[in-house]
Chains A and B, each alone.
Chain A
Amino acid sequence: GESVGLHLPTLSVQEGDNSIINCAYSNSASDYFIWYKQESGKGPQFIIDIRSNMDKRQGQRVTVLLNKTVKHLSLQIAATQPGDSAVYFCAETTHGSSNTGKLIFGQGTTLQVKP
């Protein structure tokens, strides 16, 4: 079946460095992708999203890149801060007329920021 997976379970970076978290997806019908941040004891929090008709989208300190050719998604965090320490999930869904609100999640990458 379809799955969304992450390349690394844990990423450790120095405060102030840039972080790159990767995600591979397998459902070529997915046309909408979302990155979530989950802090300990909390629900997933929306970070940024991207539609399949785009290859890059920028937010505040975050950038999402989408490569549909190799079905790869990445989240870049600039100037990583201690508050960025969390588990990051990518999720995919179909955003068009068949949208049901269903999300398929990857396994998650734990980002550890060293002071």
Chain B
Amino acid sequence: NAGVTQTPKFQVLKTGQSMTLQCAQDMNHEYMSWYRQDPGMGLRLIHYSVGAGITDQGEVPNGYNVSRSTTEDFPLRLLSAAPSQTSVYFCASSNRAAAFFGQGTRLTVV
């Protein structure tokens, strides 16, 4: 049972480049979400989804897009990367209970 799988684990982007962070879960969870974690800080919610076809903004959505075409997948897109988006990104899924997290994607924007 893989749980929540994120790819890639590490990524370096140049300012202005775009990319997609992948997230997949195999637990048939309704809820999926993306968080970012900056040094010395807790996790902040970027976007979340309560089911396929439904997404909404979290606390820090600017610069990111999401879609939820299937229950399993919840990709996060950076449209035009900025140095301020250098962070560790975590995807999580839950089913009306505690969320389970992936191992994270460490993104550096230069």
Residues of A within 8 A of B (CB): 4, 34, 36, 41-46, 49, 89, 95, 99-108
- Residue of A4, A42, A43, A49 touching B98 (CB-CB under 8 A): A49
Residues of B within 8 A of A (CB): 4, 30-33, 35, 40-45, 48, 50, 56, 58, 90, 92-94, 96-104
Chain A min CB distance to B51 (Å): 10
Contact between B48 and A101, CB atoms less than 8 A apart: yes
A35 — nearest CB in chain B belongs to which residue?
B98
Query: Which applies to chain B's interface (DSSP): helix, strand, loop or mixed?
Result: strand
CB within 8 Å: A-B pair count? 63
Contact between A45 and B101, CB atoms less than 8 A apart: yes
Contact between B98 and A46, CB atoms less than 8 A apart: yes
Query: Which applies to chain A's interface (DSSP): helix, strand, loop or mixed?
Result: loop
Contact between A44 and B101, CB atoms less than 8 A apart: yes
Contact between A34 and B50, CB atoms less than 8 A apart: no
Of the candidates A43, A99, A100, the one having the most CB atoms from chain B within 10 angstroms of its own CB is A43
| A residues less than 8 Å from B33 (CB atoms) | 101-103
Chain A min CB distance to B43 (Å): 5
